[in-house]
């Protein structure tokens, strides 16, 4: 049930609720070796700058360290399409998926623009992205190969914003078992565990950043086993779908302080949304899977 924010003093306060119902779940570079002329390292589909790589080796690279700067409550990730062969329509659909649900904006730059820090969309030999923001540097994203469908573009934009793979989370061993014996030689780097900042959010099997359970396998065997078997068949199961999950949105909006900004804009001193929900830019609740949409309740003055 949708609601409108009160104007003036029509309401003393509003409580946005996420009402929960019981639901049954349906069920390439050697490590440490720079492999590019500038000292950067391509690991699976993630490109680390030389400085990021050294930080990662020291296990200090965390989500907070790769965030794009915020100005007046807006985080801008300008971009240029460097190769005319790139499907600009598909890129804009991927960008819209993130823009519509976060406080991030992706303004397109002209070829002549001299902005120093931007997303450089190009075509190299595969589908990959640099990880997050590096001051004074261009963030490269390669839009190439069959993997760079809409889902792939959304996934790579996630890396550019600072997201790592879900299966690389610091708490992944509490949620999945990585069967290293089944990993295809050369694909091991996609299953390294990193020292991530998880912002208190649970592991997201559905995440746009989660690989499917047989990804990187040298055969039909599974590489990842869900500790809770209910989630085995849904691990990365969005497949070619392009849906950004609730937890993806909440993670990005938490990382970048979007939620705090929206609470302030909505004149709320604390989070009124329940059951893990959060306040969106329109002052309604974003609710997790298995809960109802936001409702407004007039409280006694």
* Residues tagged in the binding site annotation: 155, 159, 165
> What percentage of the chain reaches a pLDDT higher than 70?
73
Residue ranges of the binding site for Zn(2+): 155, 159, 165
Q: Which CATH superfamily is domain 41-161 in?
A: Collagenase (Catalytic Domain) (3.40.390.10)
For residue 166, give the nearest of 94, 247, 221 by alpha carbon.
247
CA dihedral 202, 206, 210, 216 (to 10 degrees): 130
pLDDT for position 257: 94
pLDDT in the model for residue 41: 66
Q: Which pLDDT does position 297 carry in this prediction?
A: 32
Rounded CA-CA distance 160/130 in Å is: 6
Greatest Cα-to-Cα distance within the chain, rounded to the nearest angstrom: 66
Question: Rounded CA gap, 192 and 45, in Å?
Answer: 13
Q: CA 172 to CA 155: how far, in whole Å? A: 19
Q: What pLDDT shows up at residue 52?
A: 58
CB 103 within 8 A of CB 252: no
25 with 204: CB under 8 angstroms? no
Residue 11, token pair as written in the block: 């309401």
Domain assignments of the chain as residue spans, ordered by start: 14-20+246-298, 41-161
Say which residues have a Cβ less than 8 Å from residue 92's Cβ, sequence separation at least 6.
none
Q: Which pLDDT value is given to residue 46?
A: 65
List residues with catalytic annotation: 156
Q: Which residues of the chain have pLDDT under 50?
A: 1-34, 56-62, 239-240, 294-301
pLDDT of residue 73: 76
């Amino acid at each position: 049930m949708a609601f409108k924010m009160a104007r003036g003093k029509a309401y003393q306060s509003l409580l946005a609720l996420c009402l929960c119902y019981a639901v049954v779940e349906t069920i390439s570079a050697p490590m440490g070796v720079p492999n590019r002329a500038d000292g950067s390292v391509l690991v699976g589909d993630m490109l680390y700058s030389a400085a990021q790589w050294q930080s990662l080796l020291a296990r200090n690279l965390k989500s907070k360290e790769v965030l794009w700067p915020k100005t007046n409550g807006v985080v801008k990730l300008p971009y240029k399409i460097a190769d005319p062969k790139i499907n600009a329509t598909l890129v804009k659909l991927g960008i819209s998926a993130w823009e519509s649900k976060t406080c991030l904006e992706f303004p397109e730059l002209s070829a002549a623009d001299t902005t120093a820090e931007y997303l450089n969309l190009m075509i190299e030999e595969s589908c990959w992205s640099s990880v997050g923001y590096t001051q004074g540097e261009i963030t490269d994203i390669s839009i190439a190969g069959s993997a760079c469908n809409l889902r792939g573009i959304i996934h790579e934009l996630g890396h550019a914003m600072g997201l790592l793979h879900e299966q690389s989370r610091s708490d992944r061993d509490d949620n999945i078992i990585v069967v290293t014996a089944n990993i295809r030689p050369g694909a091991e780097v996609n299953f390294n565990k990193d020292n991530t900042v998880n912002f208190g959010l649970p592991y997201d099997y559905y995440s746009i950043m989660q690989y499917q359970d047989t990804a990187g396998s040298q055969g039909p065997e599974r590489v990842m086993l869900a500790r809770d078997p209910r989630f085995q068949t849904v691990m990365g199961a969005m497949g070619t779908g392009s849906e950004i999950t609730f937890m993806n949105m909440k993670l990005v909006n938490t990382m970048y302080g979007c939620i705090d900004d929206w609470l302030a804009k909505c004149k709320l001193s604390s989070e009124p949304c329940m059951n893990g929900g959060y306040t969106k830019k329109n002052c309604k609740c974003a609710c997790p899977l298995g809960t109802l949409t936001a409702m407004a309740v007039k409280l006694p003055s």
